[in-house]
Amino acid sequence: MSLHDYRRKRRFDRTREPEPGAPPRGARAIFVVQLHHASRRHYDFRLQVGGVLKSWAVPKGPSYDPSVKRMAVEVEDHPLDYAGFEGDIPHGEYGGGHVARFDTGVWATQGDPQAQLAKGHLRFELFGRKLKGGWHLVRSSKPARQPQWLLFKDRDEYAGTLEADDLLADVTPPPAADVARAGRGKPRKRRLAEVAPPPVQRRDWSAAARALPGARRARFDGGAFELQLARLAEGPPPGEQWLHEIKWDGYRIAAGVTAGRVRLWSRNALEWTRKIPEIAAAIEALGLQDAALDGELIAGRGSREDFNLLQATLSGEKQATLALVLFDLLHLDGWDLSAVPLLQRKALLAQVLEQAGPHLRYSSHALGDGERAFELAGEQGFEGIVSKRADRAHHPGRSDEWRKSKRLASDEFAVVGYTPPKGSRSGFGSLLLARPDSTHGWRYAGRVGTGFSAELLADLSKRLPKGAAKPSVHVPPDDTDLRAARWFAPAFVVEAFYRGIGGHGLLRQASLKALRPDKTLAGLSDVERASDGKRGQTSESEPERKTAMKRTAAKSKTAGTESARSKPADAEPASRAVKTTAAKRGGAALARLDDFRLTSPARVVYPDIGASKRDVAAYYLAMADWLLPEIGERPLSIVRCTQGAARPCFFQKHHTAGLEQVDSVNLEEDSGDHAEYLVVRDLDGLMNLVQFNALEFHPWGAKARSPDRADRIVFDLDPGPGVAWPAVIAAARQVRSLLLDSLELQSFVRTSGGKGLHVVVPVNPGCDWELVKPFAHSFADTLAAMEPLKYIATATKKFRKNKIFVDYLRNGRGATSVASFSLRAREGAPVAMPLRWDELGRVKSGHAFDLHSAQARVKRLRKHPWAGIDEIRQDLERVVERLQRLRPDE
């Protein structure tokens, strides 16, 4: 409802501004500032609060001078997609004029932002390239047609004399006409592209590090490193040789510094530097040359109650100030400290952190008297303590030298089923839990039926598969209370509190602590487990675990061989690349759907045909050998439909937490910022995206290793109202003929899965986008000039009746087009299908193939319709000049 005014003021058939859609989830809350030359020049200042961008118009832009308070007029909320908008709003439309991105990043605040805004004073931090540090928005008491606020800088280390107009070096300039109408702004002497961090006072720590016993000279590259882990214990160990720390409730983070630059890593060696920029900046401010630090990322106090706040902040649902609590130092300014006793490592760490800012904290400790430390931790609302041998070196992995004691024990478990609800409860009664077992693969561990909020209960009820009556894991005998239970394969991970282990190794008095989307089912083999009534002991030895893993692998291989027997002999993979993948991984035909994690498999994705998430996953598994060569090794955008194809979906192009099997490539964006783009390299990556509800796959026309060199050009023939399908076929043939006869360029054709056809031109060797985009534009213009009653080369909808839009806009750096064999998020589950030119006339529409018929077609194919496309050599630079001769005389 908050976007009602945004919709009301715009006509989306006349402006390129984004229509409101489903807000993307899974990333931190953002801010964006845009320079807008409308009727008057101003800056648009926007903060993500929930699923919208709260927005203010700031005529003179933000100032770094805390004494300068800039008027900020509150305007309508904008959709989150508006953060990526840049370009011209047509004159005569609301806000007509040029919009340029000025800065963007993540932001945080201490407390509820909605409550602060309601009270009229929002204190917040910005983590952008240009806007950094603390800021204030204070509502003015002056009566006005629109609420007026004052935007001003906090008196922090970033405060100074910079103005927004000093930071326009990389901002796209507006057209001269817009400048003449809206104003140029006050001339400034400084032209900067970003704000440098405050000067760092470097201190040489090498002498202090060298003096520690066991220190040795070594280089450190700043990459991920192995962490020491704690075993679960019954209680704190006695003795003065133990130090005891608070057990912080958050995410483990390893920080690596090399040449003064910081990289942050999760426990699973996923890079989090861009996810938590305030932590990276705080560590850089320490002035270290190189270092390896170990800590826990927390929100609030880092207590048990704050863990959900941390998760909500990282997913963008809330904004909280984050901090990294540091408890170990393993390398410092050229010296490896891993062999130094822990107590002396911590003493040096405390010195390093003496001048640290609010985003870094030192994890203090008590020597000896662990029982008292455990009692105090409980009194202060913490889950427990971690006890560490103060006199020992660092040992990667789990050992008894680090032990954690919890007031309530907690572990991570796989969800494998549920019981029916009773009484007034709806959805389910309890979740059934399991953990890895050396003999049976998975063993039932008990149930959890408390700790669910009403919202979480409703959400999980929709996501849980229907299940079957037969247990999917080993269940100990004599548990007669599971007769009505529904079971399914291990689906996702939760963390649960419990008060000990009862008979048959089942949890006693379990309650839900949290969902753990950051943990994988495979990772549970590394979780300390409680069994046989003894916490802190694993249920199998390391050799037994490895034997079980080998046994599981052998079963998978046998099952895969059975599956392989049904593979059609004439189904040839699309290229040598996928043959290599098939040889290395066994191919999609050797994989089973049960080999991949799939939550909520019964959820309906295409309601008009009743196709479920499992049907979608089965489709992509069956088509993987054909699809992977189309999307593999390329930067990729996906269309995610978390509520099914009939509900709003959204594009995603950046890597996010939970995509452990999906690779990424760091690419520079138009704004000059860098971001991690999705890259699929194998079947696991593909199915990981399917698990995350990806329906459509849209690759770049370039490889990830050379993103500035295009190797494919796509012309999308999009029929407007009144254009019959035979005319679209004739258009594709005309484009092919024009390309081949006049430019000697071979091309290929596919249905788009929508209304039209794509004509695809391979370019090998690749060429710069600066050549490809003008070529595609010029070709489209030429076609429209040759037959103006048939074609149009502009996207304006009102001019497209009875014409075919030759869409060339998919041929720029960062632009994408749908991949061959990809499903579309439309009624009927249509598929973009590559064709031979000689079969085009037999196809009835652009959506002639669907989830079922596409698989049947592939089984009949003796070779790929585009066989040999990667071997065709077409140098675009040699043919561009010929295009000029195609233009009709003026």
pLDDT digits (tens, 9 = 90+) for 568-580: 333 333 333 333 3
The answer to whether 519 and 493 have CB atoms below 8 angstroms apart is yes
Containing H/E element for 265?
Answer: strand 261-266
Give the pLDDT score at 822: 98
What pLDDT score was predicted for residue 734? 95
* Residue 881: pLDDT band with limits 50, 70, 90: low
Axis-axis angle for helices 613-631, 683-691 (nearest 10) = 140
Tokens of 609: 């045909």
Which entry of 54, 60, 132, 247 is annotated as an active-site residue?
247
Token representation of residue 762: 């391979």
CATH topology of domain 409-540: OB fold (Dihydrolipoamide Acetyltransferase, E2P) (2.40.50)
pLDDT tier at 484 (50, 70, 90 boundaries)? confident
Residue 794: per-residue pLDDT: 85
- Amino acid at site 795: A
Q: Report the CATH superfamily, name and number, of domain 206-406.
A: DNA ligase/mRNA capping enzyme (3.30.470.30)
Across 140-155, average pLDDT:
91
Tell me the average pLDDT across 89-104.
Answer: 95
Confidence at residue 406, expressed as pLDDT on a 0 to 100 scale? 84
Distance, in Å, from the CA atom of 862 to the CA atom of 868, rounded to the nearest integer, reads 14
What gap in Å lies between CA 41 and CA 165, rounded to an integer?
Answer: 12
For residues 701 and 264, give the distance between their C-alpha atoms in angstroms, rounded to a whole number. 31
247 is catalytic: yes
Read off the pLDDT band of 522 (50, 70, 90). confident
Tell me what pLDDT residue 580 has: 33
Q: How far apart are CA 92 and CA 770, in angstroms?
A: 32
pLDDT confidence band for 303 (50 / 70 / 90) = confident
**Residues 274, 881: Cα–Cα separation, whole Å:** 44
pLDDT at 72 over 90: yes
Q: Are 428 and 534 in contact (CB under 8 A)?
A: no
Q: What is the mean pLDDT of residues 377-398?
A: 90
pLDDT of 588: 55
Q: Which residue has the tokens 């990806």?
A: 694
Exposure pattern of 796-832 as b/e (b: 16+ CB <10 Å)?
eeeebeebbbbbbbbbbbbbbbbbbbbbbbbeebbbb
- Helix axes 613-631 and 576-585, enclosed angle (nearest 10): 120
Q: Are 378 and 405 in contact (CB under 8 A)?
A: no
CATH topology assigned to domain 709-820+866-884: Alpha-Beta Plaits (3.30.70)
| Cα three-residue angle 858-556-662, rounded to 5 degrees | 65
- Quick: pLDDT tens for 580-626: 333 333 345 456 787 787 888 888 999 889 999 999 999 999 999 99
Least confident of 352-361, 411-420, 535-544, 875-884: 535-544
Residue range(s) in the chain whose domain bears CATH number 3.30.470.30 = 206-406
Position 883 confidence tier, pLDDT thresholds 50, 70, 90: low
CATH 3.30.70.3300, the chain: domain bounds = 709-820+866-884
In this prediction, residues 706-735 reach a mean pLDDT of 95
Q: Residue 424 has what pLDDT?
A: 74
| pLDDT, position 528 | 40
Higher local confidence (pLDDT), 579 or 855: 855
The reported pLDDT for the residue numbered 375 is 84
Give, for 349, the enclosing helix (H) or strand (E). Answer: helix 342-352
| Pairing status of strand 228-232 against strand 397-406 | parallel
The CATH class given to the 576-699 domain equals: alpha beta
Which residue in the block uniquely carries the two structure tokens 């258009």? 731
Decide which of 668 and 337 is more confident.
Answer: 337
In terms of average pLDDT, the best of 302-306, 600-604, 844-848 is: 844-848
State residue 724's pLDDT score.
95
Can the peptide bond before residue 113 be classed as cis, meaning omega within 30 degrees of 0?
Answer: no
Average pLDDT over residues 624-647: 91
pLDDT in the model for residue 590: 55
Residue 161 has pLDDT above 80, yes or no: yes
| pLDDT reported for residue 119 | 93
Residue with the larger pLDDT of the pair 479 and 488: 488
Q: Could you tell me the pTM of the whole model?
A: 0.53
Taking residues 440-469, what's their average pLDDT?
87
Share of the chain above pLDDT 70, in %: 90
Q: What is the pLDDT of residue 555?
A: 34
Residues of the chain with CATH 3.90.920.10: 576-699
Residue 551 pLDDT exceeds 50: no
- Rg for the chain, CA atoms, rounded: 30
Select from 29, 28, 33, 9 the least CA-distant residue to 19: 9
Q: At 232, which amino acid appears?
A: L
Report yes or no: 661 and 685 within 8 Å, Cβ to Cβ.
yes
Q: What does the mean pLDDT of the chain come to?
A: 86
Question: What does the block give as tokens for 586?
Answer: 């066994």
For residues 812 and 807, give the distance between their C-alpha atoms in angstroms, rounded to a whole number: 12
Given a cut of 80, whether residue 503 has pLDDT beyond it is no
Check whether 139 has a pLDDT greater than 90: yes
Q: Is the pLDDT of residue 451 over 90?
A: no
Lowest mean pLDDT among 309-313, 440-444, 498-502, 758-762: 498-502
In sequence order, which residues have a C-beta less than 8 Å from that of residue 877 and are 6 or more positions away?
767, 771
Least confident of 179-188, 353-362, 684-693: 179-188
Average pLDDT over residues 116-120: 94
> What value does the mean pLDDT take over residues 749-757?
96
Please check whether residue 640 is in contact with residue 26, taking contact to mean a CB–CB distance below 8 angstroms: no
* DSSP 8-state symbol, 512: E
What phi and psi, each to the nearest 5 degrees, are found at residue 343?
A: -60, -40
User: What per-residue confidence (pLDDT) applies to 390?
Assistant: 95
Residue 888 is predicted with a pLDDT of 47
**What pLDDT shows up at residue 255?**
97
**Contact in structure between 65 and 153 (CB atoms under 8 Å):** yes
Q: Are strands 322-332 and 360-362 parallel, antiparallel or unpaired?
A: parallel
145 pLDDT band, cuts 50/70/90, is confident
pLDDT number for residue 545 = 35
